[in-house]
Amino acid sequence: MDVTRNPNEHMAFGRGGPHMCLGNSLARLEVRIMFEDLLGRISKMERVGEIDHLRSNFVNGIKRFPVKVTLR
């Protein structure tokens, strides 16, 4: 995934068709709360190793993304 892609449309929950994720509002709320809480606790987060991608024909995802977290 390239977060700098252009256009950068939101794709995580489907593209708005008949099977658009029914839980998208709950999932967005959970992720927002998680980041709000996390950002209050840490001062720095940096990647410290290689990213491992999931090997799958169906799902594109990250399996391992090692980071070093510095607490406030």
Q: Which residues contribute to the site for ligand HEM (CB under 6 A)?
A: 12-14, 17, 19-23, 26-27
Residue 26 or 48 having the CB closest to ligand HEM? 26
Angle at CA of residue 53, ends 59 and 51, nearest 5°: 150
Residue 48 or 62 having the CB closest to ligand HEM? 62
Residue 7 or 17 having the CB closest to ligand HEM? 17
Please, which residues have CB within 8 angstroms of residue 62's CB and are 6 or more apart in sequence?
51, 52, 53, 54
Minimum CB separation of residue 30 from ligand HEM in Å reads: 7
Beta bridge partners of 46: 68
